[in-house]
Structure 1
Amino acid sequence: MTTDRLLLLDSASLYFRAFFGVPETGAEGAVPTNAVRGFLDMIASLVSRSQASHLVACWDNDWRPAFRVEAIPTYKTHRLTEGSDVQEESPEALTPQVPIIRDALAALGIPRLGADGYEADDVIGTLVHRHKGTMPIDVVTGDRDLFQLVDDAAQVRVLYTAKGGVRAPDVVTQAFLAEKYGIADGDQYADMAILRGDSSDGLPGVKGIGDKTAAKLITTYGSLAGLRAAVDGGDPAIKGAQRTRLEEGSDYLDVGPLVVRVARDAPVADVPITLPMTVADPVLMSKLATEHGLTNSFTRVLDALGMA
């Protein structure tokens, strides 16, 4: 029995995890399918466990959007192929699997939504903004950046897969954020993330300010805006090296929110997102199952969707 609940999948986060976590068992010379199988099995597990009524596979149409690069040119530069503006290739055995994942979602009738010029995080942020208050929402990801969407009042939580995968994720609510970081909610998490920066995304942060200091400052002043107002107003509690660092980081703090905060208004298509009740393209599904040995994975998804 399904209940009203929307699952938003950070697709790349999940299929990368599947690629590195599921062994490849195909014949030598065949197109590998471990990421495909793992991703489909994740969907089956998530739908079965959550009994959700709605599902979207959110997609990166642009992994390094121009508006973020314009704000902070170092954004994800470490992921560029040296000497070019091209993203480093994904693992050789993963690249041919991504089109198969797209086809599998299309065959099943599971909506796959992206937006040109935006990342999957922005698609998720937009869909959360669009649907929160209408039903509970679970964001499934291995990316801490999306903790900023946590909102108990709107019943938005994150199922964080970095440690336990989709079968035993950390369920990130405001209580989790308070215990782990000492902050109140998703908005404060975003402000904390801006302050501390993130070397994995090429975000410098304010020099000398890590998680604990950032959390304390945001908690003390309520928000990044409140902290900056206190700095500008000469609050005597902010002094010495800390004041110097915050003042020197002012230009970064002007643009940091443009990069760290996910979009709420990306041009994401408004399509039906209820769980499919019938296979959208049986011929395509049969072809994929036969050519790539995906029969068992498709069967598990169909069973979870109540179509088996």
Structure 2
Amino acid sequence: MARLMLLDTASLYFRAFFGVPDSLRAPDGTPVNAVRGLLDFIARLATDYQPTHLVCAWDNDWRPDWRVELIPTYKAHRVEAEHDGAPDAEEVPDALAVQVPVIQQVLAALGIAVVGVDGYEADDVIGTLATDAGMAVEVVTGDRDLFQLVDDDAQVRVLYTARGVGKHERVSGAVVRDKYGVTAAQYADFATLRGDPSDGLPGVRGVGDKTAANLLATYADLAGVRAAAADPGSALTPAQRTRIAEAADYLDVAPKVVAVARDLPLGGVDSARPGLDADHPLPADEATLRELSERWGLAGSVDRVLVALGTRP
């Protein structure tokens, strides 16, 4: 059975950096905990789920201008304090920043597809690849926003890593309903209403998880909630009407910010999907992979990935 695994790469290498001891170093003393941790995560996930296709989604733009123009607070708290007029840069510890190019080089040498689109986040790449994939899909992320992609009929699930890759939760439509009281198709509207401080989304004042779920259970979607707020005969309380009205400017733009793009132009990513098939043998560049493994002390982690992906006995 064909299975596509989509990795929210930055989510995983940040988790590796903070979760794997920084005593893991290359022969020259450079920290490699994020590199080794990410590779070990890939090996573990590939062993457990046996994907036939694997893609590392990349943040070509972690905070797209078009999202910031709509909601200026979007991810604002993650921006470096000083950037001298340069484009916003994400606050990344120096010991992680030096590892990101190594991650890119190792993934390229392995031949694992890395896909990013200028002006968009990894979430948008994942949304595009997961939509109409024609096979079962596992999305690996620590970001709840991607719950909106869950689709039991299309066999799209999220492997949610908030408690760690080893303790991840496989999120189906039933899990979303049980946890939040909404369907996966309603999740983006739910997130819009309640807001998300981690992404700088203010939400509607006074609307938390329970109220957002109740509103969507009654009125189906955000458009229905807003129509009810404007209807004197609806069952909304005066306070709810007032708060929804006060949030009108935010509600006009937030759905576009929260919704994951599903139709990006992915260029060389064809309908067959890049990954672990005969047209994309792994490793892609064995000599470079060997050199990188020796230089950065990655041999064990690289071998585990190759074994997990079925390219080493």
Query: Which TM bucket (shorter chain)?
Result: over 0.9
Deviation at 1:191, TM superposition (A): 0.6
Cα deviation code 1:62-90 (max 9, x no counterpart): 01101101111111111222355532431
Structure 2 CA distance for aligned equivalents of residues 258 and 243 of structure 1 = 22
Matched, 1:303 2:304: no
Amino acid at match of 1:261: A
Q: 1:86-126 deviations in whole A, cap 9, x for unaligned?
A: 32431111111111111111111100000000000011111
Query: Are the equivalent residues in 1 in contact too, given 2:50–2:309 (CA < 8 A)?
Result: no
Deviations 1:142-174 (A, max 9, x none): 1111111111111111000011x2233111111
TM-score of the two chains, using structure 2 as the length reference: 0.93
Residues 231 and 243 in structure 1, CA contact (< 8 A), matched pair in contact too: yes
Could you tell me how far apart the structure 2 residues matched to 1:27 and 1:159 are?
30
Higher alpha-carbon deviation: 172-181 or 270-279: 270-279
Residue 94 of structure 1 aligns to a residue whose secondary structure is: helix
Return the offset for 1:236. Answer: 3.0
> Equivalent residue of 2:152, what SS?
coil
* 2:222 aligned residue (212, 219, 224): 224
Cα RMSD after superposing both structures: 1.5
Q: Structure 1 residue 201: deviation in Å? A: 1.2
- Corresponding letter in the other structure for 2:275: T
How does the TM-score come out when normalised to structure 1?
A: 0.94
* Alignment partner, residue 105 of structure 1: 107
CA offset at residue 26 of structure 1?
2.2
Q: How far did residue 175 of structure 1 move?
A: 0.7
The answer on 1:289 being equivalent to 2:289 is: no
Correspondent of 1:126 among 128, 134, 137: 128
CA apart distance, 1:129: 1.6
Distance 1:152 1:227 in 2: 26
- Measure the CA separation in 2 of the matches of 1:101 and 1:61: 15
Question: Deviating runs (4+, > 6 A) in structure 1?
Answer: none
CA–CA separation in structure 2 for the residues paired with 1:27 and 1:227: 55
- The 1-side partners of 2:53 and 2:12 are apart by 18
Question: Paired residues, what number?
Answer: 302
Give the partner amino acid of 1:36: V
For structure 1, which runs of at least 5 residues remain unmatched after alignment?
none
Bigger mean CA deviation after superposition, 35-44 or 23-32: 23-32
Look up the match of 2:211.
213
Distance in 1 between the 2:275 and 2:102 partners?
A: 22
Q: Output aligned runs, 1:226-305, within 5 Å.
A: 226-269=224-267, 270-271=269-270, 272-275=273-276, 276-305=280-309
**What's 2:194 paired with?**
196
Cα distance in 1 between the residues matched to 2:247 and 2:80: 29
Q: CA 1:152–1:27 in structure 2 vs 1: closer, same or farther (change >3 Å)?
A: closer
Distance, in Å, in 1 between the alignment partners of 2:233 and 2:199 is 32
CA distance in 1, matches of 2:307, 2:167: 21
Residue 281 of structure 2 aligns with an amino acid whose one-letter code is: M
- Contact map agreement 1:277 1:305 (CA 8 A) in 2: no
Question: Aligned to 1:56, what secondary structure does the other structure show?
Answer: strand
1:9 aligns with 2:13: no
Displacement after TM superposition at 1:130 (Å):
4.2
Q: Please state whether the residue corresponding to 1:207 is helix, strand or coil.
A: coil
Structure 1 residues 140 and 235: CA distance shift in structure 2, 3 A: farther
Cα drift, residue 178 of structure 1:
1.2
Secondary structure of 2:7's aligned partner: strand
Relative to structure 1, the CA distance from residue 253 to residue 41 in structure 2 (aligned partners, 3 Å threshold; closer, same or farther) is: same
| Cα 1:262–1:235 shift into 2, 3 Å | farther
2:78–2:91 contact (8 Å) kept in structure 1: no
- CA displacement at 1:278 relative to structure 2: 3.0
